[in-house]
Amino acid sequence: MTRGFAPLLGLVLCVGVGALAWATEGFRVITSEGARQVSIARHPIPIPNVRLIDQDGHTFSFGDYHGRTIFVDFIYTRCPKLCGELGDDFRQALSRSDAKNGHVAFLSISFDRADDREALQLYADRYAARAPRWRVAMPYDARGLSMLLQTFGVTVIPDGMGGFVHDGTIYAVDESGRVARILDPGARIAAVPP
């Protein structure tokens, strides 16, 4: 072995392993979604007090939920498949949680600026969503929407066919209005034993 080999090797190993550990949150995640899950579990993020409008035309904000846990998903009403699964999941979870506790609420937020109140109403009717237990809502303005998408870390990209590609992830907002948990991609609330 030559002089300087061991220090150089050590340096490369330290920097390399360190960089990989940083990028994978200590070798636990490889996707940005996973990284977000880990970071939110560690530091819940307060939600800005964005104003939203629900399927009945009522205005509300996250502050109104104080003291209750909310399950939040992001949808668009023309969504052909994934949002249907999300809707079914919320409906099942709601019917099960009804008897048990009243302090759980559900909130579906549309990220599609083409959605209007009627569209929200139709979506809500399809899954028997009744405010205030399950609101189907959209932010009041584009600024509010982008704030929410950023806070929750939702990435929405056009699918090239007029619709959107999104994750269908479900978020849990805790009693003090913070994003506290991101469920695994594809995980459904109704699948978890009550």
**Applying CB under 8 A, which residues contact other proteins?**
1-5, 7-9, 11-13, 15-17, 19-20, 23-24, 27-35, 155, 157, 159-160, 165, 167, 184-186
Rounded to a whole number of angstroms, the minimum distance from the CB of residue 140 to other proteins is 25
Q: Is the preceding omega at residue 48 within 30 degrees of 0, hence cis? A: no
Angle (CA) 181-172-123 rounded to 5° is: 140
Please tell me the distance from the alpha carbon of residue 60 to that of residue 49, in angstroms, as a whole number. 10
**Strand, coil or helix: what is 21?**
helix
Rounded to a whole number of angstroms, the minimum distance from the CB of residue 158 to other proteins is 9
122/187 with CB nearer other proteins: 187
3/66 with CB nearer other proteins: 3
61/151 with CB nearer other proteins: 151
**What is the DSSP secondary structure assignment for residue 68, as one 8-state letter?**
S
The CA-based dihedral angle spanning residues 22, 47, 186, 21, taken in that order and rounded to the nearest 10 degrees: 0
155/176 with CB nearer other proteins: 155
